[in-house]
Amino acid sequence: MSLRTISELGPLAGTRVIVRCDLNVPLKDGKITDDGRVRASVPTLTTLLEQGAKVVVISHLGRPDGAPDAQYSLAPVAERLSELLGRPVAFATDTVGESAASVVDALEDGQIAVLENLRFNAGETAKDSAERVVFAQKLAAFGSVFVSDGFGVVHRKQASVYELAELLPSAAGTLIEAELTVLEKLTRTPEKPYAVVLGGSKVSDKLGVIGHLLPRVDSLLIGGGMLFTFLAAQGHKVGASLLEADQIDTVKGYLTEAERLGVQIVLPTDVVVASKFGADAEHVVTAADAIEETPFGASGLGLDIGPDTAAHFAEVIRGSKTVFWNGPMGVFELEPFAAGTRTVAEALTQVDGLSVVGGGDSAAAIRSLGFADDDFGHVSTGGGASLEFLEGKHLPGLEVLGWH
């Protein structure tokens, strides 16, 4: 792995260091509901602060559409960061305006500030690279070196991820280093048996991962909404369950290819079918090939894998040395349909080897179900970035740091 790291930036005492973190956390009524990404940013920030750097943190939050929007302010994140670091964190109420300039100017050695949401500026995500460069130049004026540590955005060509790294001496933070170490194990040197567990709503989101990993894995376990497209590809009726009919032929191709490669694709044998989408819905467990034979008929919705499937998935997971999991097994936010996801998560904590939770909804699921990050070998902070890495795609935010 060739990647510029913080140690290559030289002594940083007294140096203004701009750090691109991924502090894109879920908020409800102005409160953070899952601070996993904030906690993940702490090691790099602590390393820099202990060296005596003046640290300027930049991040996005949500999709405010290029203009200030109070509901997407990073103020609650700065507050939480202060608690986690055990030191004051100054907050600028704009990104590259007067507040940012004065807050940055006031920083002394070993002090830290957070600038307001990058996406309050249209230049951050502009399609036109010239617009992005203009915004990146304004950001670059706040520091003399740049540390990229927002793994969740390295698959995006955005001003604070790509152009800023070209304008200043740049390196990866410890979070990105850790993510890449794990992802390289998953793609290049996985210990066998190797199981990949895929869930989430759409099979189309995971097609690239399936295609790229199929020759490398021993077992591919399919749950979540995407399982119904697999069932349909086998000729089963799926009621009103989520179905991507345009992907059925592609899925048939993967089933054939898996058979040729000797890879075990493990599909659910039973599912939890509900009368409607809601925590109060009537629901029954039925065989995966009998979804329309429940009392709900063709209007039945599959919302979770069944208990027999969950137990079998858990057995395969526990018997593997390397496990990568991305995507919940069902609608885990609704308690009647959380059991499959909970069982899979529990099994991952018992792997005698490397267990990786692939960010995004999977990371949110384990925390909401009461698991801690350190119950697993690694919890990724970047769902989309992890998947694109595992698809073998080029990630501009890494390549600009010398990674190849």
Give tens-digit pLDDT for 27-62.
998 899 989 999 999 999 999 999 999 999 999 999
| CATH number of domain containing 335 | 3.40.50.1260
Average pLDDT value over all residues in the chain:
95
pLDDT attached to residue 46: 98
Residue 226 scores a pLDDT above 80: yes
Cα separation, 235 vs 230, whole angstroms: 9
State whether 85 and 198 are in the same domain. no
Q: Are residues 169 and 317 in the same domain?
A: no
Residue ranges of the annotated binding site are: 22-24, 37, 60-63, 119, 156, 206, 302, 333, 359-362
For residues 234 and 156, membership in a common domain is answered with no
Do 304 and 380 lie in a common domain? yes
- Is the torsion defined by CA of 13, 19, 25, 31 positive or negative? positive
Domain identity same for 205 and 128: no
Nearest one of 263, 281, 274 to 210, comparing CA atoms:
263
pLDDT at 392: 87
- The alpha carbon dihedral of 141, 147, 151, 157 has a sign of positive
- Which phi and psi (to 5°) does residue 99 adopt? -60, -45
pLDDT value of residue 1: 53
33 in a structural domain: yes
Residues 146, 49, single domain; the answer is yes
Judgement on whether residues 294 and 372 belong to the same structural domain of the protein = yes
Taking the C-alpha atoms of residue 55 and residue 113, their distance in angstroms, rounded to an integer, is 6
Q: Is residue 185 part of a domain?
A: no
Is position 396 within any domain?
no
Does residue 80 lie in a domain region? yes
- Boundary residue ending a domain (145, 177, 209): 177
Q: At what angle do helices 339-348 and 360-368 cross, to 10 degrees?
A: 90
Q: What are the tens digits of pLDDT across the range 132-181? A: 999 999 999 999 999 999 999 999 999 999 999 999 999 999 999 999 99
Q: What percent of the chain has pLDDT over 90?
A: 89
Last residue of a domain, one of 126, 152, 177: 177
Q: Do 291 and 148 share a domain, yes or no?
A: no
Annotated binding site for (2R)-3-phosphoglycerate: 37, 119, 156
Q: Does residue 25 belong to any structural domain of this protein?
A: yes
> Do 161 and 138 have their domain in common?
yes
Q: In terms of domains, do 63 and 108 share one?
A: yes
For residues 66-88, one letter each, b for 16 or more C-beta atoms within 10 angstroms of the residue's C-beta and e for the rest, the string is eeeeeebbbebbbebbbeebeee
Q: Please indicate, yes or no, if residue 403 is contained in any of the structural domains.
A: no
Domain boundary among 131, 156, 177: 177
Please, how many CA atoms are within 13 Å of residue 392, restricted to the half-sphere of its CB? Answer: 12
Residues with Cβ within 8 Å of 344's Cβ and at least 6 positions away in sequence, in order, are 197, 199, 223, 310, 313, 314, 317, 325, 329
Location of structure tokens 């970047």: 382
Residue 360: pLDDT over 80: no
- Output the CA torsion sign for 319, 323, 329, 333: positive
Q: How many CB atoms lie within 10 A of CB 149?
A: 27
Residue 334 shares a structural domain with residue 207? yes
Quick check: is 67 in a domain?
yes
Q: Are residues 50 and 199 in the same domain?
A: no
Asked whether residue 397 is assigned to any structural domain, the reply reads no
Angle between helices 360-368 and 36-50 (to 10 degrees): 100
Q: From the annotation, which residues make up the binding site for substrate? A: 22-24, 37, 60-63, 119, 156
Among candidate residues 389, 381, 324, 383, the one with its CA nearest the CA of residue 40: 381
pLDDT tens digits, residue range 376-387? 999 998 888 888
pLDDT per position as a tens digit, 240-263:
999 999 999 999 999 999 999 999
- Active site residues per annotation: 37, 202, 360, 384
Bond from prior residue into 193 cis (ω within 30 degrees of 0): yes
Number of structural domains the chain divides into: 2
Of 7 and 201, the one with more pLDDT:
7
Task: Please state, in angstroms and rounded to a whole number, the distance separating the CA atoms of residues 42 and 3.
Answer: 20
Instruction: Note down the domain range covering 295.
Output: 190-390
Task: Report the binding-site residues for ATP.
Answer: 206, 302, 333, 359-362
